Every structure is written in C-alpha cells, then in structure tokens.
Structure 1
C-alpha cells in the first residue's frame, strides 16, 4: 500500500556518490556509505562491504581515464532510490566501456547509503578483464 505521507528522505548522497565515482575519488565514495553498508550484484549474488566495493570501483578507475553516468533516471519511494543509467568509461587502452544498469539504493536515517542492489549483464565486464 502506498503512503500519502510526504517523502522526507534526503537523496543528495546518491548524486554525491555518482559524482565521486566519475571523479575516481574513492575517499568520497566511502564517505557516502554507512559503516555497515552492503552492495549486492545480480551476477554473483555476493554481498560486498564498503572496503570491497571501493576496491572494485577503484579497479575500474585505475583502468580508465574518465567515467560518466549517462541517461540517468531516478525514482524515489520511501527511503529508496531506483536508478536506471549507463555507466561509460574511456579506458587507458583507448577502448570504451559501456554498462547499462539498474540500482536500488537504500538510504539510512543519517542520509547515507545503507545498501545497493545493482543489476546488469555481467558480459560487459569481459571488456575490463581483457585490459586488466
């Protein structure tokens, strides 16, 4: 049942997180997350803590010269944000990385990311494995 109560959740951390990833600023990425936050991906169904998630994103940043979240569409419900986007990156090799994805982001009462569930076709990661 949908509530008629106004949504009071501050979702600004979502924009801060995406901007930090685009800049490759893993310290800022970590600051966006609650200490006990978890990230889950559909392709391996494993929950990652913040250090593991930041290491994975750091690897993408190390392989690329720039990153961008394009075609962003965000819908909020309660304390959750649903994002549909395409993450693109220019790789040091000159190649391009493109990953259409969908995320569900839970925001805690402190305005930090408590959980991310991300859905994408894992075959897009093959292009990164070739340049690693």
Structure 2
C-alpha cells in the first residue's frame, strides 16, 4: 500500500474514533475544508470543532464501503456515512478529494447530500 493510502487510512481511522488530536496532527495549520452543501471553507479550528461535536449530534457515526485511490497530490475517498440518532440510521454516500503534502492535509473538498442525512434522521 502506498504511503498516501496508509496516511488516508490513519486519518479516517482517527476521525471514526473521534480522536481530534490525531486528526489535528494530520492537518497543516492553514488547512481548508470545503463542503458542497454550504460552499464555505472551514479553517482548521472550525473543522476540528465540527468533527469534535459528532458525539453530541449522533449516537453512532462511522463509514462503510470505503474506497480510496491515491493521487499524485493526495487521495480520493468514497464511502458511505452511517449515522444513528434516536433509533434512526442514515446511510449517505460521500466523496472527498483530499490534498496532501509531506503527510499533512492542506485541503479537503467533501461532497455529500446533507439534506438526505438530516431527513433520514428526522
């Protein structure tokens, strides 16, 4: 497995575990995280706060059906977000384009249907 694929696995494992310190260590200080559903670039602090609030918003959260492709400047990750709240479970496909330099993420572009996620959990 290439180094970038190992790095990708470590990153998503940290996100899944809720290990915000490990996620932070994967980010450059100037990282930007963009989501298609709001068209806003989050800063490192904003994104870490979002990820850190996952246990407050969901009873369970994780990923299935993960596929990762290494690229010259990072990786492409496809997965299904699986989130449970109040006995309801959502399954939402997502894709992320992640830009990596020297084992540090400097940009993420994440695409998923947030409306579907919220509707499935309502």
Asked if 1:67 corresponds to 2:61, the answer is: yes
- In the aligned structure 2, how far is the partner of 1:56 from the partner of 1:124? 18
Mapping of residues 53-132 of structure 1, within 5 Å: 53-91=47-85, 93-109=86-102, 111-127=103-119
> How far apart are residue 60 of structure 1 and its match?
2.0
Runs in 1 of length 4+ with deviation above 4 angstroms?
127-130
**Where does the alignment leave 5 or more consecutive residues of structure 1 unmatched?**
1-7
Instruction: Name the SS of the counterpart of 1:40 in structure 2.
Output: strand
Match for residue 34 of structure 1?
A: 28
Q: TM-score, normalised by structure 1?
A: 0.79
1-structure distance, mates of 2:7, 2:115: 29
Larger radius of gyration: 1
Whole-Å Cα distance in 2 between the matches of residues 100 and 62 of structure 1?
22
* Kept after mapping to 2: 8 A contact 1:9/1:107: no
- The DSSP-based 3-state class of the residue aligned with 2:53 is helix
CA RMSD of aligned residues (A): 2.1
CA deviations over 1:12-31 (Å, ceiling 9, x no partner): 23211211121112121111
How many pairs are equivalent? Answer: 121
Where structure 2 has 5 or more consecutive residues not aligned to the other structure, the ranges are: none
